[in-house]
Amino acid sequence: MSIKIGIYGYGNLAKGVELAVKANPDMELAAVFTRRDPSTVKIATEGAVVASSSDIASFKDKIDVMIICGGSATDLPEQTPAIAKLFNCVDSFDTHAKIPEHFANVDAAAKSGSNTALISCGWDPGMFSLARLYGNCILPDGKDYTFWGKGVSQGHSDAIRRVPGVKNGKQYTIPVEAALEAVRSGSNPELTTRQKHTRECFVVAEDGADKALIEKTIKEMPNYFADYDTTVHFISEEEFKANHSGMNHGGFVFRTGTTGGNKHVIEYSLKLDSNPEFTGSVLTAYARAIYRLSQKGDFGCKSVFDIAPALLSPLSGEDLRAHLL
Amino acid sequence: MSIKIGIYGYGNLAKGVELAVKANPDMELAAVFTRRDPSTVKIATEGAVVASSSDIASFKDKIDVMIICGGSATDLPEQTPAIAKLFNCVDSFDTHAKIPEHFANVDAAAKSGSNTALISCGWDPGMFSLARLYGNCILPDGKDYTFWGKGVSQGHSDAIRRVPGVKNGKQYTIPVEAALEAVRSGSNPELTTRQKHTRECFVVAEDGADKALIEKTIKEMPNYFADYDTTVHFISEEEFKANHSGMNHGGFVFRTGTTGGNKHVIEYSLKLDSNPEFTGSVLTAYARAIYRLSQKGDFGCKSVFDIAPALLSPLSGEDLRAHLL
């Protein structure tokens, strides 16, 4: 019997989850829930239902795990606790500072409904968090480094688009190669914000806009750009559409440390052509684990730290030990 | 109260474990067990006991977890099941083909003694196994690649030293850079044994030995060298001691795959100045997890796949979520 997945929301991440469910033969997509008029939403899975998000309660016995694909800023703090009362669920909440609060809210809700929930899944937080945790445990005498990119930062792209005179904009976060090499050497460098990443912006300006002023406004924007070496390229709308519609991302997590005077470097990296499809694949693998924990009666909120890796796999313990250990 | 560690055997790996126990403030080394005369074994930890391996039963209440530092070929298949009857324990059994049998033996022994045991811990098997498992679960439509080195292969060095006329020898396994780059590109190449690794040998010949014959014998040795591009360097005993006494190692695990036509590359790599010290650090972190599982009454044999990552850390769930997630 396959695991019945529900998807809550139907944006880019949800479409990534939908692809991932198809790639896992022990799962099936039961329903997609949307705040829009369901008749206007076309999904890619035959046989799955599109329903209104206000009707989720009536699906209580038809969904084993709900994968919640809302945004961290305003959606997930409301959605995940509400859904965790009714369903096992997984989200990708990534507002680091608010994780403790979100965890507490979801934990109470999940326990009240005898459900199992996982928050902050994906690649960062998620796989990168695991790389940091394993690295810290193995090399207690060491240092962490996380680099992001090359990839699109949604927050920085939004910030560019709010600058007067900007019609469209995209920002790439790029790790500095020399900084990566310094970390890889095991020399445990102290790196400033500016030394770790550069920011590259592609901007479509409105007709007659003051490009010099736009560039200055972007480069001096506090928090977003002022602490970085930022380059701004003005391009046409056509070039923007042709070359900057991708959703590639990635990054690097290092733990470097010493034992008895010997140096060690642990490096974990991702190079992703599609950030939402990879993130959706991680959420889907963890949905399998959450389903299994709920079957064992292990209710409440979890993070990736609480999940034994074998629970992610469709293979048996015997097969895993024989083929992957 | 700190976790009381026992070390069984006192070779290079054991010394790595001893260093790691010192680096973890919630642990203490209680005793080292040796098959030699205990009075001849000097350890690096003040206050810890050196005892005979035949006396372990009398330490039953003084050790929380025994870290077994014997070899996989003949020691561990005997030692781990015998010790698992008496103690929680961790080993680094790495004979891949015999893992299922070893697991079954240790599982029965541990359950009979109400103990928790972990086998095949370290970096491969161990951290590399985890990288393979996570990668397979996230990208079911993909391909695995494992490369080893640059590092010393004990088995191949032993094989060199058995060649007539060889006084001393060391073999380095080296991943082929072009193969690494092909995998990183996401092109999912099919790679032969010869395309993945080269083997570099440093040999001290006996006086008057036929070096050409030694080189030919090494290069044509089946299983060990015949399927590889092998280079043989003849050096002096002095140069050997000065430059080839290290125990560095490392390697790379890749999972490459696609989702909806988009390519993704996951890479995990280790660069280790001391193989036994790093391996000892991994065993020690997992000893903490095994202790915790035993406290919960979760007895029997485990692999790294069965251990939730949070169990490795001295930090609380709250601290982990706040600082590493």
ipTM of this predicted structure:
0.96
Residue B20 has pLDDT above 90, yes or no: yes
Q: Do A317 and B305 touch (CB under 8 A)?
A: yes
**Distance between CA atoms of residues A39 and A54, nearest Å:** 14
Residues in B touching A134 (Cβ below 8 Å):
127, 130, 309, 312
Give all strands of the β-sheet with A300-302 in edge-to-edge order.
Answer: A49-52, A27-34, A3-8, A65-68, A88-90, A116-118, A300-302
Q: What is the pLDDT of residue B295?
A: 98
The string over A97-132, giving b where at least 16 C-beta atoms fall within 10 Å of a residue's C-beta and e elsewhere, is: eebeebbebbbebbbebebbbbbbbbbbbbbbbbbb
Residue A133 has pLDDT above 90, yes or no: yes
Burial of B14 (0-12, 13-18, 19+ CB in 10 A): buried
How many helices (DSSP H) and strands (DSSP E) are in chain B?
Answer: 11, 14
Give residues with Cβ within 8 angstroms of B20, minimum separation 6.
Answer: A259, B277, B280, B281, B283, B284, B285
Q: What is the pLDDT of residue B155?
A: 87
Residue B318 one-letter amino acid: E
Residues in B touching A267 (Cβ below 8 Å):
267-271
Which contiguous run of DSSP H or E holds residue A32? Answer: strand A27-34
Average pLDDT over residues B85-114: 97
| Cα separation values, B139 from A174, A227, A304, B133, B191, Å | 25, 36, 17, 10, 20
Burial of B209 (0-12, 13-18, 19+ CB in 10 A): middle
pLDDT tens per residue, range B61-72: 999 999 999 999
Radius of gyration of chain B (CA): 22
Q: Which of B57, B119, B135 is nearest to A130 (CA)?
A: B135
DSSP conformation class of B126: B
**Mean pLDDT, chain B, as a whole number?**
97
Q: What is the pLDDT of residue A154?
A: 85
Asked if A174 contacts A252 with a C-beta cutoff of 8 angstroms, the reply is no
Q: A 130-169 residues with CB below 8 A of B?
A: 130-134, 136-141
- Strand boundaries in B164-213, DSSP class E: 166-175, 197-205
Q: What is the pLDDT of residue A145?
A: 98
Residues in B touching A273 (Cβ below 8 Å):
186, 262-264
Give the other-Cβ count within 10 Å of A158's Cβ. Answer: 12
The label of the residue with tokens 């079957």 reads A295
Q: What is the pLDDT of residue B1?
A: 79
Distance (Å) from the alpha carbon of B207 to chain A's nearest alpha carbon: 35
Q: How is chain B split among helix, strand and coil, in percent rounded to 5?
A: 40, 30, 30
**Distance between CA atoms of residues A275 and A279, nearest Å:** 6
Residues in A touching B265 (Cβ below 8 Å):
269-272
pLDDT tens per residue, range B122-147: 999 999 999 999 999 999 999 999 99
| Cα separation values, A39 from A62, A63, A92, B175, Å | 20, 21, 27, 55
pLDDT tens per residue, range A60-84: 999 999 999 999 989 999 999 999 9
Facing A310 at nearest CB: one of B139, B262, B306: B306
Give residues with Cβ within 8 angstroms of B188, minimum separation 6.
Answer: B142, B143, B256
User: Quick one: pLDDT band at residue B154, thresholds 50, 70, 90?
Assistant: confident
User: Quick one: pLDDT band at residue A155, thresholds 50, 70, 90?
Assistant: confident
Burial of A155 (0-12, 13-18, 19+ CB in 10 A): exposed
Q: A 266-295 residues with CB below 8 A of B?
A: 266-274, 277-278, 280-282, 285, 288
Handedness of CA B220, B225, B226, B228 (dihedral sign): negative
**Mean pLDDT, chain A, as a whole number?**
97
Facing B281 at nearest CB: one of A16, A139, A309: A139
**Distance between CA atoms of residues B155 and B150, nearest Å:** 15
Residue A116 has pLDDT above 90, yes or no: yes
Residues in A touching B140 (Cβ below 8 Å):
23-24
